[in-house]
Structure 1
Amino acid sequence: MPLTPFTDECPTLPCIQPIRKSKHGTYYDMPMIECKHTFHRNLPPATVWGYHGMYLGPTIEVERGEPVYVKWANHLPKKHFLPVDFTVHGAHKDVPEVRTVTHLHGARVKPHSDGYPDAWFTSGFMEVGPLFERKVYHYENDMPACTLWYHDHAIGITRLNVYAGLAGFYLIHDQLEHKLPLPSGPFDIPLVIQDKSFNTDGSLYYPHQREKPVPELTTSIVGEFFGDTNVVNGKVWPYMQVEPRKYRFRLLNAANSRFYTLSLDLGQPFYLIATDGALTPAPVCLQKITLSPAERVEVIIDFTGMEQAHIILKNEAPAPYPGGPTPDPNTTGIVMAFHVTQPLSAPDTSMIPQKLRPIKPLNPTTAAKERYLTLDHLTDEYGRPIMLLNKSHWDDAITETPQLGTTEIWSFINLTDNSHAMHVHLIDFLILDRRPFDITAYEKDGTLHYTGPPRPPEREECGWKDTVRTDPGEVTRVIMHFIPYIGLYVWHCHMLEHEDYEMMRPFVVIK
């Protein structure tokens, strides 16, 4: 059945209340439960997985420096409702089919609370012996105000678990943010953008192959997954009724592999005020914003004087990005609509400040090391494409060992045909530049022959980041300071099909 856009209202994601607070910290209980969810009024309810049985999980809001303890508990079935591929690393027949471990994306946490992909836990007890069904993670939240998100990170099935619904917002506030005259309360709205496809019975569709490459196994590794609808806060092409005033929107690209280039069809600008890790030094006026998977921005949209206007949030990003087909303007080319049909509930006293949060740049000349890291497109034993980093697999020896307190430059050398979304756990970084190079020459002798000048970061990348778009045929350089913890962490492509197979590597921060 065709789905009509702008039929369902965009849900407001609820905030969860802690189970208790004490002088030692704030405590949350976050069970993962199978449940039903209706993505569009013309679709039957679909089976999903959600924290607290919700699609998407509830928003956690904390203050800077507030110690938080979250009990992540797996109450999911022992069988996955999406096709598990047992040929993928970490997802073999000798481990439980349903495994979870939650990563707070963008957070500075000690290793045991980071959601390491191999640190999964399962539901109940297994025949091989008891396995943990819950873990308590500690988040110190010693970070400036920012928009983070939590999501599943289990090795080999991250793409399935996040697609099933295991994701949600985690917002950190601080005193500087509170003092700014930004839109707040009901006018500060998080929006999760994803893409989905549906079977005729309304259930979530995810591709699988039953015959190749292993006839006796159902496999579900595809190069990338792109759904044929866009979903915002769990609804297909929703609408939102807004007042003629300024709104602050926290935009998250939580799609498996799809990039989004967002714009408003009536030509209004976005006033960007924050990137992944913090407020920007000053607002940036933009007509378009490109987000790779896992990237976040905070923007202000001003609907003042636009009573009765109907505004469509559009997507222009090709899939795969940047060389694939452009989106269908009637399906994946539309995201949601804003209807300026609500009366003004109170005078709009919010402002777009001239200054937000200053950034102290990192000096490249102080870098202790510059690492050159390749993004590789190879072929596996079954003839399938496999994406690797430095031509290394997940279980190969660790080669990245930055020292605590040092600054490093990481240069991502993209040897593939598509862009990737590179994410580094523990730290935030600043983007230095992107520069085209001769791929053929590099593959011949490993020498970088640049074919053009360096290009500065895009205007929507002007702040602290934890995920960066790395374009084909370019070297993307980022600079980062490794604090405040030592231990085992992860860097990987955040296109989930790539991450699962097998574009992910561990790194260790040493003393």
Structure 2
Amino acid sequence: MKSAKHRFHRNFKEAATIFGYNGMYPGPTIEAMKGQAVRVKWINNLPLKHFLPVDKTLEDAMDSPEVRTVVHLHGHNVAPDSDGHPEAWFTRNYEYVGKKYCRQVYEYPNQQQATTLWYHDHAMGVTRLNLYAGLAGFYLLHDFNEQSLDLPRGKYDIPLMIQDKSFRSDGSLFYPDNLTPRNQFVHPSVVRAFIGNTMVVNGKVWPYLHVEPRKYRFRMLNASNTNGFTFKLSNGQPFWQLGTDGGLISVTKAIQKFPLDPAERVDVIIDFSGLEGETIILQTEELDLQGNPDIHKREVMQFRVGNKGGDSIPLPQNLRPFDKLEEAKAVKTRRFVMSQEVDGFGRIKLTLNNLEFSDPVTEFPEYDTIEIWELANPVFDPTRPLGIPPNISHPIHLHLVQFQILGRQQFNVNPNKFNANQWITNGGGIEFVSNPVDPDPSEMGWKDTVRVEPGQVTRIIVHFKNYTGEYVWHCHILEHEDYEMMRPLIVIKKYND
């Protein structure tokens, strides 16, 4: 990890300062095969001072060095000492380390099915800054089942890291240093949300890609700090979905559009056959903060279809058997509330069940057991459009495990109708105002991140296996994760009576 210069657009006056793995942004794509372990030594060669605004009031930031890093391989089933715990950070030359730091070389066993993973910084209190600065890269895991399928491969298999960013007039990265309105007590101060005004794909502003008139596989990742998007194609043709966060789904299916919150991935085929000479645009249904279509971020990137090339590969149908987790086998149901309060500086602080990260652990799932988690998001204003604050979803990510989404259900968020403590304790104190609805078609598969929508209870089913030990779970809006919307999670050995 080192500081480097990166030009986001050829017309920018200067190259921007970034933090990059091997000085690259995005970082090098690591490709691995199931059953073959990979060892990585993550080395911090970054400067001692951050080029983005560090809030010293946040956990671990007040009395720690400004530039701290630790790497989390997102979505990987890995032992705790290689998971990238946020308190396992280290500085340049390992001079200073966090209290959970224990090793320099991480081991990734690669014992899960083929999927699109990604690695990124996870240091307590500065994750939002380090990832925005460029510390993110792809990790593609393959297996023999995936390789036996007629899927686009090689130069026709392309990961897309999609982010929104803002820039100064000289082409350098902009990140706000204070709240709006400005906080007189804290400067720099963490912001509740960061919404960039420019779309960046694989490190380039509004790029284009020359494609042949044939099928391409795109592994799409939303690596933004805060913003969720709904993606579609400008010519109205469908995507052919292959997979979700955790790997291939059972059967290829057509989807016209799909939502993708920070950290979520979707694996799709776009078929450019018969589109010679055309330009197809990957678009969003983005709204600005006033609820109007955001014309600046509507267009993400162009696909410019050439006249040569093609393929005769049929679209694959059956991809992988899917084992559905059974609710009847769940040994426990846990309930959580996306909570918020005002801190001592007058800032809104978002938490889980009104607990901070340093509060005692409350989640001790037993190894090789199945649990149902029900996550309620009561922050909802029915007069505002979805996606416009305060009506935002929280992308909740669980380390170690993959899970399945059971569905969502609207409830009455009126404080007189919703008792958060009662809901957490026994499932009471809630008034549902709709029938449960199935997950979005694009979510039908293994997931490690789930959108907890405003005004709804989102239910997931989780099998805790692979390892025991201490992990974390959190909102993947990085500004929330850095400021207390993260909790410890300890998987314990199962004891029989």
Name the counterpart of 1:8: none
Give the aligned length. Answer: 472
* Cα separation, 1, equivalents of 2:293 and 2:205: 16
| Residue 132 of structure 1, CA deviation | 8.0
The answer to whether the 8 A contact 2:215-2:270 is kept is yes
Q: Does 1:220 align with 2:210?
A: no
SS at match of 2:275: coil
The letter of the residue matching 1:276 is D
- Tell whether the 8 Å contact from 2:90 to 2:96 is kept in structure 1 after alignment: no
Structure 1 pair 120–64 and aligned structure 2 pair: CA distance change class (3 A): same
Q: 1:457 aligns with which of 439, 443, 446?
A: 439
Choose which of 376, 397, 404 in structure 1 pairs with 2:360: 397
TM-score (norm 1): 0.89
Paired position in structure 1 for 2:464: 482
- Contact 1:121 1:134 (C-alpha < 8 Å) held by counterparts: no
Structure-1 residue corresponding to 2:407 = 433
Once residues 310 and 64 of structure 1 are traced to their aligned partners in structure 2, the CA distance between those partners, rounded to angstroms, is 37
For residues 302-352 of structure 1, give each alpha carbon's deviation from its aligned partner in whole angstroms, at most 9, with x where no partner exists.
0001000011111103367xxx634422x11110000002521xx514332
In structure 1, what is the Cα distance between the partners aligned to 2:64 and 2:234? 49
**Partner amino acid for 1:453?**
N
2:227 is equivalent to residue 254 of structure 1: no
| Amino acid in the other structure paired with 1:469 | R
> For the residues of structure 2 that align with 1:378 and 1:185, how far apart are their CA atoms?
49
Q: 1:47 aligns with which of 11, 17, 25?
A: 17
1:141 aligns with 2:110: yes
What is residue 325 of structure 1 aligned with on the other side? 291
C-alpha change, 1:340 and 1:369, in structure 2 (3 Å) is same
1:298-377 counterparts in 2 under 5 A? 298-318=267-287, 325-329=291-295, 331-341=296-306, 343-344=308-309, 347-377=310-340
Asked if 1 retains the 8 angstrom alpha-carbon contact of 2:379 and 2:413, the reply is no
Instruction: Please give the residue correspondences for 1:82-161 in structure 2 after superposition, counting only pairs within 5 Å.
Output: 82-92=52-62, 94-124=63-93, 135-161=104-130
Aligned-residue sequence identity (percent) comes to 52
Say which SS state the counterpart of residue 308 (structure 1) adopts. coil
Q: Deviation at 1:36?
A: 0.2
- The alignment partner of 2:419 has SS state of helix
Listed as ranges, the matches of 1:15-34 within 5 Å are 32-34=1-3
Q: Deviations over 1:253-281 (max 9, x none)?
A: 00000111111111111001100001001
* Corresponding position: 1:245 with 2:227: no
Match of 2:37 in 1: 67
SS of match in other structure, 1:220: coil
Find the counterpart in structure 2 of residue 442 from structure 1: 418
Runs of 4+ that moved beyond 6 A: 131-134
Q: By how many angstroms is 1:133 displaced?
A: 12
Aligned-partner SS, 1:178: helix
1:206-226 C-alpha deviation (Å, 9 max, x unpaired): 0013995354x5223111101
Return the offset for 1:284.
1.6
Equivalent in the alignment of 1:410: 373
* Residue identity matched to 1:339: R
What do the CA deviations read for 1:372-427 (whole angstroms, capped 9, x no partner)? Answer: 01111221111111110010000000000000000000001112232110000000
Residue of structure 1 equivalent to 2:388: none
Note closer, same or farther for the CA distance 1:314–1:127 as it changes in structure 2 (3 Å cut): closer
Secondary structure in 1 aligned to 2:167?
coil
Question: C-alpha offsets along residues 269-306 of structure 1, whole Å, 9 cap, x if unaligned?
Answer: 10011000010011120111110000001100000010
CA distance in 2, matches of 1:351, 1:318: 37
Distance between the aligned counterparts of 1:485 and 1:133, measured in 2? 17
Give the distance between the partners of 1:157 and 1:87, measured in 2 at CA: 11
| Equivalent AA in structure 2 for residue 102 of structure 1 | V
Pick one of 103, 111, 135 that aligns with 1:166. 135
In structure 2, C-alpha distance between the alignment counterparts of 1:420 and 1:398, rounded to whole Å: 21
Residues 139-171 of structure 1, C-alpha deviation per residue, up to 9 Å, x if partnerless? 000010000000000000000000000000000
Deviations 1:450-505 (A, max 9, x none): 11100001000010000011101100000010001000001100010111112100
Question: Are the aligned partners of 1:316 and 1:326 in contact in 2 as well (CA < 8 Å)?
Answer: no
Maintained 8 Å contact 2:87/2:101: no
Within 2, Cα distance between the matches of 1:127 and 1:135?
13
Partner residue, 2:259: 290
The DSSP-based 3-state class of the residue aligned with 1:355 is: coil
The CA distance in 2 between the partners of 1:325 and 1:114, in whole Å, is: 39
> What's the TM-score once normalised by structure 2's chain length?
0.92
1:375 aligned partner, one-letter code: M
SS in 2 for 1:368: strand
Q: Does 1:419 find its partner at 2:384?
A: no
1:310 and 1:62, CA in 2 relative to 1: closer, same or farther beyond 3 A?
same
Amino acid at match of 1:482: F
SS of structure 2 residue aligned to 1:124:
helix
Query: Alignment partner of 1:59: what SS?
Result: strand
Question: The residue matched to 2:104 in structure 1 has which SS?
Answer: strand
Alignment correspondent of 2:387 = none
Letter in 2 for 1:435: Q
SS at match of 2:81: helix
Q: Residue 9 of structure 1 corresponds to which residue in structure 2? A: none
Aligned match of 1:27: none
In 2, the alpha carbon distance for the partners of 1:386 and 1:373 equals 16
SS of alignment partner, residue 73 of structure 1: coil
Partner secondary structure for residue 360 of structure 1: coil
Could you report, residue by residue, the CA deviation over 1:177-236 in whole angstroms, capped at 9, with x for unpaired residues? 001001111100000000110112211000013995354x52231111010000000000
Residues 319 and 177 (structure 1), Cα distance of their counterparts in 2 relative to 1, 3 Å cut: farther
Structure 2 vs 1, CA of residues 275 and 125 (structure 1 numbering), >3 Å: closer, same or farther? closer
Pair 1:132–1:455, CA change in 2 (3 A): closer
Query: In the aligned structure 2, how far is the partner of 1:309 from the partner of 1:470?
Result: 38
- Separation in 1 of the partners of 2:293 and 2:60? 34
CA-atom RMSD in angstroms: 2.0
Q: 8 Å contact 1:122–1:132 — kept in the other structure? A: no
Q: 1:492 and 2:474 equivalent?
A: yes
